[in-house]
Every structure is written in structure tokens, then in C-alpha cells.
Amino acid sequence: MVRIAGSWAGISQSFRVVADMFGWTHIVLLSDDETTKVCWNGAAPFDEVFGRNENYTFTWLRFGTEPTDEEINEMLQQIRSITRGL
């Protein structure tokens, strides 16, 4: 798990270098679903870099404002399943 902050579009390209270096092919991005927020602007370029590349399995999980504990647990389970193949 890597935490990334900021809305600079180049972060997604930089993260691709890290993913390639470590051989990561299953990428899960978790962000809110508010298109006017910084989190969305930082996340959208990841879809272009990883979502349209056949070398990666890319999933973008979006959550609403103030998710419940149950919703957070569901997201964590999805992340486990996608990245580890459980």
C-alpha cells in the first residue's frame, strides 16, 4: 500500500516507474467520488496511465463522503481480493 497526495498529473507517471521497478501489476486506487475535490484531480490521471494499459490490472474504487465502517471494511476486502487474488 502506498499513500499518494497531491493533484499534480505527473504523480501517476512517477508511480508507474515505482510500480515497474517493483513488478507491481495489480493497481488499486482509492479516492473520493467528488469531481470538484483535489483527490479526484490527483486520481484521474492514474486511470489514463494504468487503466488503458494492458500490462496492469487497474481498479479505481471511489467512496462517498463520510463512509461507514462497513463501507470501509468492504473496500478493504475488495483491495485484498484484487491485489492478492483471494
What is the chain's pLDDT, residue by residue, as a tens digit (86 residues)? 666 666 677 888 889 999 999 999 988 888 887 777 777 777 888 988 998 889 998 988 888 878 889 988 998 888 888 877 55
Q: What's the Rg (C-alpha) of the chain? A: 13
What residue ranges do the domains of the chain occupy?
A: 10-84
The pLDDT of residue 50: 92
| Residues found in the chain | 86
Alpha carbon 7 to its chain's center: 13
- The reported pTM is 0.74
Predicted pLDDT of residue 11: 86
